[in-house]
């Protein structure tokens, strides 16, 4: 059940519950749509989009962006590589790491999936984010994310 603030006081546990449940429901709905139309899940789409926008990134760069462990990120990249959507190449400045690039198939996939992603997100948030308080909510979440990232809060420990 969604929480409400009363008397100017913010119900922080309720805010947390709402934030997490919104994220989970949006993520799951996007997962379903992306799987149905493109054969990928949301985490794969996000990784492909990041690599499109940041060619030559390392696994560590992906892990830092999504605040997940390096091991899990590497396994995810292995799956993308197995599908021939991503290639690893030796990092010339550190031969212990690899640089990641999209293949032509990976680029085509992320471009078509991005349309589905954006349209689905617009459909799921219609009537809420396009209302009068929508821009303020978007700004607030952006500011909260910036503070958490700047202070390196919530990074994986393992």
Check whether residue 63 and residue 95 sit in a common domain: yes
| Distance between CA atoms of residues 14 and 40, nearest Å | 32
Nearest of 125, 144, 143 to residue 134 by alpha carbon:
125
Check whether residue 90 and residue 155 sit in a common domain: no
Check whether residue 146 and residue 72 sit in a common domain: no
Please give the average per-residue pLDDT across 125-137, as a whole number: 91
Assigned domain for 36 exists: yes
pLDDT digits (tens, 9 = 90+) for 5-55: 666 788 999 999 999 999 999 999 999 999 999 999 999 999 999 999 999
Assigned domain for 5 exists: no
The C-alpha angle 16, 123, 85, rounded to 5 degrees, equals 85
| Distance between CA atoms of residues 107 and 124, nearest Å | 25
Assigned domain for 6 exists: no
Check whether residue 85 and residue 147 sit in a common domain: no
Check whether residue 44 and residue 104 sit in a common domain: yes
| Distance between CA atoms of residues 130 and 134, nearest Å | 6
Q: Which is more confident, 125 or 156?
A: 125
Check whether residue 119 and residue 144 sit in a common domain: no
pLDDT score at 5: 60
Q: Which domain holds residue 142?
A: 129-158
pLDDT score at 62: 96
88 token code pair = 């690893």
DSSP 95-154: TTSEEEEE-HHHHHHHHHHHHHHHHHHHHHHTTTTTSTTHHHHHHHHHHHHHHHHHTTTT
CATH number of the domain to which 45 belongs: 1.10.10.10
């Amino acid at each position: 059940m969604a929480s409400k603030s009363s008397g100017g006081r913010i119900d922080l546990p309720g805010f947390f519950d709402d934030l997490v449940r919104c994220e989970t429901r949006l993520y799951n709905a996007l997962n379903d749509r992306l799987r149905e139309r493109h054969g990928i899940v949301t985490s794969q789409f996000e990784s492909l989009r990041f690599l499109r926008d940041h060619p030559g990134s390392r696994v560590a760069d992906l892990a830092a962006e999504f605040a997940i462990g390096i091991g899990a990120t590497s396994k995810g990249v292995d799956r993308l590589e197995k599908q021939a959507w991503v290639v690893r190449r030796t990092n010339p400045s550190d031969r212990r790491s690899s640089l990641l690039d999209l293949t032509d198939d990976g680029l085509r996939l992320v471009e078509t999936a991005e349309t589905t992603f954006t349209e689905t997100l617009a459909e799921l948030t219609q009537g809420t984010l396009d209302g009068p308080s929508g821009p303020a909510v978007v700004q607030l979440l952006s500011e909260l994310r910036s503070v958490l990232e700047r202070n390196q809060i919530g990074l994986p420990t393992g």
